[in-house]
Every structure is written in C-alpha cells, then in structure tokens.
Amino acid sequence: MDNCIKLSELKVDPIALAPIGQGSYGTVYEAWHNRHHSVAVKICRIHMDEQNFQEEKELNKRATDENACVPYFGFISEYYRGLLYNGLVFKFMECGSLGDLLHRHNVYPDNCLAFRMLHEIAVAMNKLHEINADQRLLHCDLKPCNILLDIDLHAHITDFGAARFSTVTENRDRVIKQDPNSMRTIAYCAPEFFSDNFRRTSKYDVYSFSILAWELLAREIPYRGQSNNDIPPRVLANCRPDLNLLRGTIDNYEAFEHFLRRCWAQNSNDRPTFLDIATELKPLTHTDEEVLQHAVMQAKQELLTKLNRLSFQRSLENYRYNFTEVFTGHHPTAEQSKRMEIGDNLAAQPDNNQHIAQNENDQLSVGDRNLTDEDCRRLGKNYARSWETLASDLGISFAQIDNIKQDHRRNEERKIAVFQKWKEIDPNPTVRNLIQKLRQIKVDIDCYSFLDPDRVIRDDLRNEGA
C-alpha cells in the first residue's frame, strides 16, 4: 500500500530553505523524516492535473519495487492555508545530479567510476523496461540531470514526469506542446522523435543513453553551440557527437566506438536492448576495488571542495523547522522560531504576506521589498561578469542554466533571466537578501546603488560583517 506522509512529519533546515531542484513539474526541497531520514520532497505544481500526479506516483512506486530508480518513500496530498499540495518523497541523493557534477561543478569521474555509473544506469533501465512486458514502461527523458548520485556516487534514475507506455503513438508537435522540456533536452531525442508521427519504443531510451554515455566520457555537452533548431536536421542526417574526443582516453576504443554507434543507430531496430548494454558494459566495470574506491573518494573530495563544505550530510539538529516554512516565502522571526520548535501550529503565526496585503499603503523599507522585474532588468544591463558564473553562484542548477541559454540569445538577456530565475526560486527574494548574496560572491555592490540609494542595507551589512 502506498504510504501517505504528512507535512507535519517533515522538518527543514532554516538556512537551506531554497529549492534543490525546479522545473515544469514543480519544486524539490531537502528535508528530514524521522523514519526515512534525509529525503527529497518534490512538491508538484499547484495546478498539476490530478491524473498526472496519480500516474507519476504509481510509476515511482512500481519502479522502486523493482529497484529501478531513486527509492520512493511515499506521497503528500494535504491542504495548507487553503491550497492543496501534492508531492512525492524520495531518498535524498547527497551528491546531486550527474549533470551538475559534470557541468556545474566540473568534476569528472575517472573512467572506472564512469563505466560503473553507466552500467548501473543500464541495469536500472532494463528493470524499468521489464516492469510490464505487455505495456513496456519508458522513461523518455533520460539525461544527466535525471541521474542522481548517492553518497558513494552510485547512479540512480529519477523523474518520471515524461514517462510513457510503449503502446502510445504520438504526434511530435503535440508532444512538444505538452512537454516544454522536450525542446530543451532535444539533444537526447532519438531521430524518430522528429518524424511527423512516431511511436516511442524502448529503443528511444537507448538512444538517449548513448548521448549521455558520450557526454560522461567526453566531458563535454553534446552539440555545444547548436540551437534547438540546428540539432534536428543534424540528427536526421545521421550526425552525432564527435567520437574523436574519446580516442586515446578509453581502453579498447574501437570496440567502444562500435558499441556507441549501435546505441545511437539511425534505425531504432538496430539498437541493442538495455539487457545487451548491461552485459557489454559489465567487463568494463571489473576494476580493482582499491582503484575504484580511490576514484570515488577523489571525485567526492573534489565535489566537497567545489561546494565549500566539509561533509555531504547536515547535522540532525539543523532540521528544526516545519516543512511548511518553504511555502511562506519569508524567514521566521526569532519568536516564531521558538514557538515552532516546541510544536506550535504554524498556521497561528502571523503571515508577513498577509500583513503586507492588509497594509498596502504602508511604506516598506528598501531592504524588505521583494525584487521586481524592473530591478532584474537594470541588474542584468549593468552586470559585467560571466552570466553563467553568476547563475551558479546564486544557486541556479545546471538544468536551469541550460534552459536560460536555450531561451535567450544575447548575454544581456541571459543576465536578466538569471536575476529573474533567482527571484523565482529563492524563498526570500528581497532586495536585502540579493545584495547580501552579491556581496558574498565578491560583486561590487556599489555598482547597484539604485537598489539601495541611501546605503541603508550596505551599511547594515558592513556593520554586521556580512
């Protein structure tokens, strides 16, 4: 029976209220559950179709039963302050996504570890495809950002928001309209996706796997510099990522080149199954255990250094606020914190947003007001550094950075989009909070005096030593 988890069972760290992931499906937060310990809580879009929620819930349950994905613990379906929140609760993956590891943190696993990851993905995908032989379950969005890594860098599949059954025939235009992310991850789409009418099969996922495998071993983004309009004609013309980037970096390169060419074959019938793939990759994972563990420890240490942390795990005592705090959009006062810690009902606490709405004529202090779209526009026009570095420093994920790159052509537009994305994902998007973050990443905040014309915030932060 599916396990219903109450919001009151979840606790969060007050200094880590920002989402750890976000997309068209909803938002993911890190939390603590007394029985399941560190968990990732995926809160679905408020207006998500109930049928889609029930389907994804069932898919995750079935995939977990077969050990084919990130372990799924249960679901949330509960009203809070008049709104229904649906969500899914998973085991927290301490090392984040493979996409962020490679392209946000620039940590590249040694080949022995990379091949172990690929074998684990292939085994999991084979289990996923075999859940129902009569109506084969497909992932349909296999890519590095949907591969999560646990504390020992074992690979786990996640995100069944795009999953389909193999008996479904779909029109390409309709798929794109229903799933905007399809265009943003188009590099992983098989050639048949670009047909006027196509039927997804298990070989669709095999193609996506081959691009992911090339990306992991080549340490490069597939089709870098190509727009979403440029990629489909290349794929239909049988053009693929450059295999020469792997030459000299992999033992028995010729055999592996042949393997990848079969996996991304133009005709889906020529591609192997995931059972075949797992079998062929198995010998490549036979590495001396001491060498493999050294590769794991080296990659973990590099990642910790990039994260500026000593450990992947938070202290249990840090998880002391109710999970519903992520919905409020403001940090609790000291008095509220004390009352929450002894179990008072959060609903009894004053809501800052309601207070503001009830006093619309009251003048907010400069620091307390939320960042506006006009602020974002002016910030983007004045910001002089790399927009990608800025995005990473502000906690924007690699997937979101990639979306910004695909959606905007000019760097100025991308800088504006970065500030708008921060405003969207940060639980406390005030002027004061942004100025503090910019100061922490060594940005000369005096260049943005329009946010703080009387220097009130800057003087406060300097006095506080922030």
Give me the active site residues, please: 141
**DSSP per residue, 170-207:** EEHHHHHHH-THHHHTGGG--GGGGSSEEE--HHHHHH
Bridge-partner residues for 89, per DSSP? 41, 74
Within 13 Å, how many C-alpha atoms sit on residue 83's CB side?
A: 13
Q: How far is CA 160 from the centre of its chain?
A: 13
Q: Where are the alpha helices (DSSP H) in 282-430?
A: 289-307, 325-328, 334-341, 352-358, 373-382, 387-393, 398-407, 411-425
Whole-number Å distance between alpha carbons of 238 and 197: 19
Whole-number Å distance between alpha carbons of 466 and 441: 11
SS3 label, residue 308: coil
Write out the H or E segment, with its range, that includes residue 257: helix 253-263
The pairing of strands 10-12 and 26-33 is: antiparallel
Q: Bin 252: left if φ > 0, else alpha if -120 < ψ < 50, else beta.
A: left
Whole-number Å distance between alpha carbons of 434 and 449: 13
Bridge-partner residues for 164, per DSSP? 138
Is residue 42 part of an annotated ligand binding site? yes
Rg (CA), the chain: 23
> What are φ and ψ of residue 109, in 5° steps?
-60, 145
SS3 label, residue 15: coil
Tokens matching residue 443: 């940005």
Residues that constitute the known binding site: 42
Residues that constitute the known binding site for ATP: 42
